[in-house]
Structure 1
Amino acid sequence: MDFNLQTYRAEQLLHLGVSPARRICVQQNELHRWLEIDGVVQSAMILSAPHRLCLPHQQTIAALLPERASRVLELGLGGGDMGRHLQARWPEAEFDGVDLDAEVIGLYRDFFMTDEALGRQRLHRADALSFLIEMPGCHDLILVDLFSQDGNPPLLFAPDFYQALAARLEGELIMNLLPRTGRELDRVLTLVEHWIGPAQLRGVPGCLNRIVHARKG
């Protein structure tokens, strides 16, 4: 039951936040509920099966997941689609979700968080780099899905971010990118391979997303 990005139609508006900087809303129809920022769908949830992934880039990420992970970190929360999927896939795992945007975290809690996440998922309002530097322990899977209004934020092109990732990773890294240029993509791949390990790059059919996958060497 994929969420068709070309033909979706809303039947109910659950939340609308408008400011000079952006427009953010949560809408739903009979089948799906989704988070939209400035007219772009960030997350979509199947109401009858919240753990199923229905956006193309998420399905590509799912094909790259390891067989098992016990401690998972998401940098960039959105509507929490990957978290819901992984909580169903790995019932015993621990999850941390990080986002700098208080409104996004609140909308996730109000409209997208499932009962399965209660007591298992820790939510943090924090800058991704600061969280990596300050948090204790390591994760065996880190998912990076960070965006700004202009696309990928400057943090994704900074060596300090990958150095911090390497210090907190004991397993696999998966990143969702929307590179504006080939130079941006090359920069990310170079940094991943320097600090983490050999990187694989996957395209997403019909989308501009590029998925980077690496295992810490």
Structure 2
Amino acid sequence: MNTATLVVFISTFAFVSVTPGMCMMLSLTLGMTIGVRRTLFMMAGELVGVGLVASLSVMGVAAIMLATPEFFWVFKGLGGAYLLWLGIQMWQSKGKLSVPTEATQGPPAPAKALAIQGFVTAVANPKGWAFFMALLPPFLNASQPLAPQMVVLLAIILTLEFASLVLYASGGRMLSGFLRQAGNVRLMNRIAGTLMMGVGVWLWLG
């Protein structure tokens, strides 16, 4: 893989990665309510999901997955319903993802649950599978070994994806600080809850 190809790939995926999407909105929401540090658990699950989707897309498995809409219908339905339920709880200033008030203090969301949330959001979107099927093959050289090329491309993809997730989570954290200073914790929970519900609906419609 030559330098020119890498430059084009990095430029293309950097633009795509930083564009608002389900995973970025999820990162923004969690950054707002639980902070950047704990959002890293969600990011870890999301990056595993993105890496899996990208790898399977190159292997051709994505074509089979997209040909079985029943699988995605069930997966998307469950994932979307879960995110919608979380959003409703956050809107009501309840649950482990909302910003606690004096009346809603409780244990933080488990790291495992956050990681699963990120993984499901990344894997359950058919558009993500279709995107990687369309994006990755043109950048692969059939005359060279596939494995080294995939390692390089996956490293670039995950690095750019992680940077974008951190950027969105940091933005959410800044918004959280502004609303906290204004004493609007309940408003912050409602904004975050609305975003979370939006991600759930987005997952259904994706």
Larger helix fraction of residues: 2
Larger strand fraction of residues: 1
Q: Which has the higher contact order (CA 8 A, sep 6+)?
A: 2
Q: Same fold (TM over 0.5)?
A: no
Quick check: which has more Rg, 1 or 2? 2
TM-score of the superposition, structure 2-length normalised?
Answer: 0.27
